[in-house]
Amino acid sequence: MKRKLKSLVASLCLASPLFAMSNANAEGKLTVYCTVQNNVCENMTQKFSQKYNVETQFIHGGTGTIFARIKAEKDNPQADIWYGGTIEPHFQAGQLGLLEAYRSPNQAEILPEFKSLMESKKGDFTSIVYMLVLGFGVNTEKLQKLGIEAPKKWADLLNPKLKGEVQLPDPRTSGTTYTIIATLIQLWGEEKAFEYLKQLDANISQYVKSSLVTTNLSRGESTATVGFVHSYATEKEKGAPVESVLPEDGVGYALGGVSIIKGARNLDNAKLFMDWVLSKEAQEIPWREHGVYQIPTNVKAEVAPQSVKLSGVKLVELDFERFGSSEEGKRLVDKWLSEVKLAK
């Protein structure tokens, strides 16, 4: 989102209903809650509308924002399907009974490393559409002015010279910082992870919406951030003095989810949309047309040359059973709020 939103309600954008009667094999309407880049949401829904003759609209928002909205609308759903956003809140929504069971046949084309996760009960309600790699983003011009090197390890973000120079997303509205919390807990245990987050808070200028983190870094409003590195690659291509760094002591990652909302008014079209976004064709659209270098999870999809190379990278093994629990998710975000954000 390009501007600050005022509430849990995200900006509403209507994808133009484009009709192609020659290849139409569906009809009706579809409303998508979309948690990827706004321009990608618009393009994906337009292409789906054109391909299947379905009048499609989307509502854009961060992961936490959309999850909160789905919970609030439990008795009167306002959308049919949730596309994008880190997968733990999708799993949590399934646990809370907020999702419709549907296993797309295209789940069979998922990368082998994620097959076991999809074969669990979680795969009854949610499918994986992309992979995001967590790392540091730095503004090289700001680093030079401060006279410091780019951080190489998590502890380097605690450098006193970075006081007021670091920004993170707020985990109440973004799934990114929840992924950071989960990564640090997996690396060090919960006690040490929260001690680190408390120390890091001294260097944080503000906790912002996830879309602003990279934008502010590019503008020089911050020197360092933690986020998904594909967004830094996009900004660098645009000419911003931005580089990404994968932390040497452990790299977290997130999986993007897609789930049908319980009580969807356009259930058949929601199933069709899920099938389509899991296809090779759809998973290549973000990088081919928008320079968004997330990693496709369809084994047949081509990976962008600009996407992060995972060979030799020390990926942290995430416990999706634990961090995909609704109780655990709420507990950790509440703990972050009380012990980090609001702590004196």
- The pLDDT tens digits for 109-148 are 999 989 999 999 999 999 999 999 999 999 999 999 999 9
* Residue 275 maps to a domain: yes
Binned at pLDDT 50, 70 and 90, residue 1 comes out as very low
Give the whole-angstrom CA distance, residue 216 versus residue 207: 12
Q: Is residue 226 one of the residues assigned to a domain?
A: yes
- Assess whether 117 and 16 both reside in one domain: yes
322 falls within a domain: no
Please say if the pLDDT value at position 12 is more than 90.
no
Task: Note the Cα 243 to chain centre separation in Å.
Answer: 20
The pLDDT value given to residue 26: 62
CB-based burial label for 76 (10 Å; 0-12, 13-18, 19+): exposed
C-alpha 60/C-alpha 92 separation (Å) is 20
Per-residue pLDDT averaged across 253-265, rounded? 96
Same domain, 210 and 337: yes
The predicted pLDDT at position 309 comes to 85
Spatial distance between the Cα atoms of 57 and 8, rounded to a whole number of angstroms: 18
Residues 190 and 114 in one domain: no
Give a yes or no: residue 126 inside a domain.
Answer: yes
Provide the CATH number for the domain around residue 332. 3.40.190.10
d(CA 234, CA 37): 12
One domain for residues 36 and 81 = yes
Same domain, 25 and 116: yes
User: Is residue 313 in some structural domain?
Assistant: no
Q: Which domain holds residue 152?
A: 133-252+327-341
pTM over 0.75: yes
β-pair type (29-35, 81-86) = parallel
Q: Look at residue 59 in the predicted model and tell me its pLDDT.
A: 97
Q: How many domains does the chain have?
A: 2
User: Are both 142 and 247 inside the same structural domain?
Assistant: yes
Q: Is residue 174 part of a domain?
A: yes
In tens, the pLDDT along 266-290 reads: 999 999 999 999 999 999 999 999 9
241 and 174 part of one domain:
yes
Residues 125, 137 within the same domain: no
- The pLDDT assigned to 194 comes to 98
